[in-house]
Structure 1
Amino acid sequence: MAGRKILVIDDSKVIRARVREMLPQGNFDVLEAKDGQEGIDLVRKEHPNLIMLDFLLPKLSGWDVFQQIQASEELRKIPLVVMSGRKEEVSGKISEPFEYFEFIEKPFEKGQLLEAIKSAFNKAKKPRQPLPSATPARTPQPKDTAPATAGADAAKVKALEQKVARMQAEMVALKKQVAQLKAFVIKKLK
């Protein structure tokens, strides 16, 4: 039985397999999750020694998974490598420099991956401020400021906008993955 666990959270089976192949042979298990919800469930259940997290994921985005990990005193100590085909998507949500996790841009080579993992372990050791123990109190909302249906409609519109944005991001990621797969096949055929 392996002593260490590496969790790869990516919706692309090709990327998950490629990361698995690039990792050095050793005494560890590689766990895989195909979406954000499955990923965060495995993080909580398995407490891996390293998390490789794609930023664009179905069901629960990589950003949402990242936020849940960071909201837990225990989970945020796990070394983390965030992967994305577009760095601006990550830096748009998390300001640089990335102090407590490592970022690697897809596509990447084995040496880049190993350096990112090494850096993630070093960054995870940095001391951090403890999380606040109590959640802030909610401010009371004034009553009758708008009909309940207007609020529900606005929430639906916002949810749809988020869904469209995720779908567009997934399409971009899929196009990039198809291009990577094509390049890989062409390279193998030569």
Structure 2
Amino acid sequence: MRVIRERRRNVRHIPREGEVVLVVDDSKTIRFALKKMLAQGGYEVLEAENGREAIKMARNHSPILIIMDIVMPELNGFQATRRIRKMEETRDIPIVIMSGNQEATEKFWVERIGANDFMSKPFSRKEVFQRLEWAVYRNQIA
């Protein structure tokens, strides 16, 4: 998998009942904001506050997408993404890495670890759904 570089088209993914998105961030505020947005869009949202929880939840719930912060205690987003990519049952789940740091080095590492996309904090509702819909669409046609 690689970071999406081509222009995003207007892709509209309509959630089916039971589709789960996993939101991983150590900030309750960020998790709450994303959960509210995604729930309003019709998605079931699971939350994890660190990479270890994210790995367990990804394995147990098979989300259609993981939105993961980079900087977290215990196991950071880079480490968790690498482990998720190594497990057969989770390796194809699209992962969008998010960070408040927009430096090119972080974007470089996102590609190296196998994430599908990068999203900056702060984020808008429109950006969240564009990333979600494009990642899910790309995964369905792959």
What is the TM-score when the length of structure 2 is the normalising length? 0.76
**Residues 111 and 18 from structure 1, CA distance in 2 versus in 1: closer, same or farther, beyond 3 angstroms?**
same
Conserved 8 A contact 1:85-1:107: yes
For the 8 Å contact 1:102–1:117, the answer to whether it is kept is no
Name the structure 2 match of 1:188. Answer: none
Confirm or deny that 1:118 pairs with 2:133. Answer: yes
Gaps of at least 5 residues in structure 1 are 128-190
Distance 1:26 1:91 in 2: 27
Are residues 1:25 and 2:40 paired?
yes
* CA deviations over 1:77-134 (Å, ceiling 9, x no partner): 11221111113352242348x986121100011001110111211332464xxxxxxx
- What pairs with 1:1-190 in structure 2 (closer than 5 Å)? 3-23=18-38, 25=40, 27-88=42-103, 89-95=105-111, 101-125=116-140, 127=142
State the AA in 1 paired with 2:88. Answer: E
Q: Secondary structure, in 3 states, of the residue corresponding to 1:93?
A: helix
Whose radius of gyration is greater, 1 or 2? 1
Identity of aligned residues (%): 35
Bigger helix fraction: 1
The structure, 1 or 2, with the larger RCO (C-alpha pairs under 8 Å, 6+ apart) is 2
Provide the secondary structure at the position in 1 that maps to 2:82.
helix
Secondary structure of the structure 1 residue equivalent to 2:91:
helix
Q: CA RMSD in A?
A: 2.3
Aligned residues: 125
